[in-house]
Structure 1
């Protein structure tokens, strides 16, 4: 089994005024780079889903890190980022490759995320205190046709796709470790490690 970590940083960040969220600083370091540091020890290789700022990301990340734009136009959402990541893995390798996804804007995600998600050796979705966390998926790269077909049908919601794909829910005890930063206010609160209500 080869494990790929996919950092999702390809969105519009509308609640931050359209900035590139992955480049916003969290305790002096870009959010996407913070995610990289938390994920690198849990995976064999890290991929970055990004639809802009490619040269900036190339300077930030280690040489050889794949910076992957969506294969579809118009910021089609995190599922499109997953599609691009799956497609980037050589076809012959997809049968033994798995991908764990994390959003760039969750600075405290668990450092045992992969260990817990892969425990049952089935596709999985993180759930914290009863709240699904659809951006934290564990899926085989061989699911590429399922992802593409779902997007081709005009649907794009990550959580709905995960349920359709039969992802098992894996419980995590601490909801605060999944708090995300959708606004500058939430980013400021996270920097101070202040909990805030999820939407």
Structure 2
């Protein structure tokens, strides 16, 4: 098995006035870089979904990091980023490749995220605090045809696709670890927090 981590940074960030969210600073570092450093120890390779600011990301991230624009126009959502990531994996490798997705704007996501999702033994999606966390998916690259068909149908919702794909919910104990930053106010609030507990038991 080869594990790819996919950082989702390809959105419009409308609640931040349209800035590139992955480049906004969190405790002095870009959000996307924070996500990269947090996810790298859990994976074999990191991919970045981004639809703009390619040169800025290339300067920021280690050389050789794949920066992937959507294959579809008009900011088609995080699943379009996942589609692009699956498509970049050579066809012969897809049967053994898995991807874990994380949004760039969630600075405290668990350091045992991959370990916990992988232990489910099946495609999985994170949950915490009684809520699904659909941006945190664990799926095989071989799901590419069904993902493309879902997007071709006009659907975009992450949670709906996770359920249709048979993803098992894996419950994490600390909901604060999944706090995201959709606005500058939320980003400032997160900066003021101590990092929540990153590990702990999970249930499925």
Taking structure 1 as the reference length, the TM-score comes to 0.97
Hey, what does 1:182 align to over in structure 2? 182
d(CA) in 2 for partners of 1:99, 1:157 = 18
Structure 1, residues 53-97: CA drift from partner, whole Å, max 9, x if none?
000000000010000000000000000000000000000000000
Provide the residue aligned with 1:191 in structure 2: 191
| Structure 1 position 121, deviation (Å) | 1.8
Match of 1:25 in 2: 25
- Aligned-partner Cα distance in 1 for 2:194–2:36: 22
Match in the other structure for 2:7: 7
Matches within 5 A, 1:1-199: 1-193=1-193
**Offset of 1:130 from its aligned partner?**
1.4
C-alpha distance in structure 1 between counterparts of 2:35 and 2:121, whole Å: 24
Residue 129 of structure 1, CA deviation: 2.2
Question: Distance between the aligned counterparts of 1:146 and 1:34, measured in 2?
Answer: 31
The whole-number CA distance in structure 2 between the counterparts of 1:97 and 1:186 is: 34
Q: Deviations over 1:97-118 (max 9, x none)?
A: 0000000000000000000000
**Gaps spanning 5+ residues in structure 1: where?**
none
- Aligned-pair CA distance for 1:144: 0.3
Q: Distance in 2 between matches of 1:40 and 1:194?
A: 22
Question: What is the distance in 2 between the residues matched to 1:173 and 1:184?
Answer: 26
In the other structure, the counterpart of 2:199 is none
1:19-73 deviations in Å (ceiling 9; x for gaps)? 0000000000000000000000000000000000000000000010000000000
Question: 4+ residue runs of structure 1 moved beyond 4 angstroms?
Answer: none
2:120–2:170 CA contact under 8 A, matched in 1: no
Equivalent-residue separation in structure 2 for 1:12 and 1:194 (angstroms): 28
Give unpaired runs (5+ residues) of structure 2.
196-204
Q: Does the residue aligned with 1:148 lie in a helix, a strand or coil?
A: helix
Q: Between Structure 1 and Structure 2, how many residues are aligned?
A: 195
Deviation per residue, 1:142-186 (Å, 9 max, x gap): 000011000000001111100000000001000000000000000
Computed over aligned residues only, the root mean square deviation of the Cα atoms, in angstroms, reads 1.0
